[in-house]
């Protein structure tokens, strides 16, 4: 797990989730806030080092941010914040 900061690193904007992501969260008995909190504090989840570096670059330059997590039921979720920080979406990889 990456080191995280106390203050949010960026604005999440409007929060949305796909039906598939909502079903996966419900099945796991989890809510979206744990994943959103990790994302906004710079814990990018299950990304390789190259993708983590890309997120750092994107954070500094105002590009899109992507995190990848697994629910307690072992379902992969993406959390994506758009470059303009207007919206953050939770979705399944196949919904990307």
Contacts of residue 35, defined as CB under 8 A and 6 or more positions apart, other chains included, come to: 45, 67, 69, 77, 79, 90
C-alpha 52/C-alpha 93 separation (Å) is 18
C-alpha 58/C-alpha 75 separation (Å) is 26
Q: What does the pLDDT read at residue 62?
A: 96
pLDDT digits (tens, 9 = 90+) for 1-35: 555 458 999 999 999 999 999 999 999 999 999 99
Q: In which residue are the tokens 């758009």 written?
A: 82
C-alpha 68/C-alpha 92 separation (Å) is 10
Of 96, 89, 92, 88, nearest to 9 by C-alpha is 88
Q: What does the pLDDT read at residue 6?
A: 80
pTM of the predicted model, to two decimals?
0.92
pLDDT digits (tens, 9 = 90+) for 40-87: 999 999 999 999 999 999 999 999 999 999 999 999 999 999 999 999
In the sheet that holds 87-91, the strands lie side by side as 14-17, 87-91, 76-81, 65-70
- CB 66, CB 36: distance < 8 Å: no
């Amino acid at each position: 797990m990456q080191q995280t900061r106390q203050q949010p690193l960026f604005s999440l904007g409007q929060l949305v989730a796909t039906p598939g992501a909502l079903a996966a969260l419900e099945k796991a008995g989890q809510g979206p806030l744990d994943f959103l909190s990790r994302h906004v504090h710079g814990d990018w989840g299950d990304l390789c080092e190259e993708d983590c570096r890309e997120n750092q670059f994107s954070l500094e330059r105002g590009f899109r941010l992507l995190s990848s997590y697994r629910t307690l039921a072992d379902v992969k979720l993406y959390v994506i914040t758009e470059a303009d920080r207007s919206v953050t979406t939770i979705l399944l990889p196949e919904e990307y």
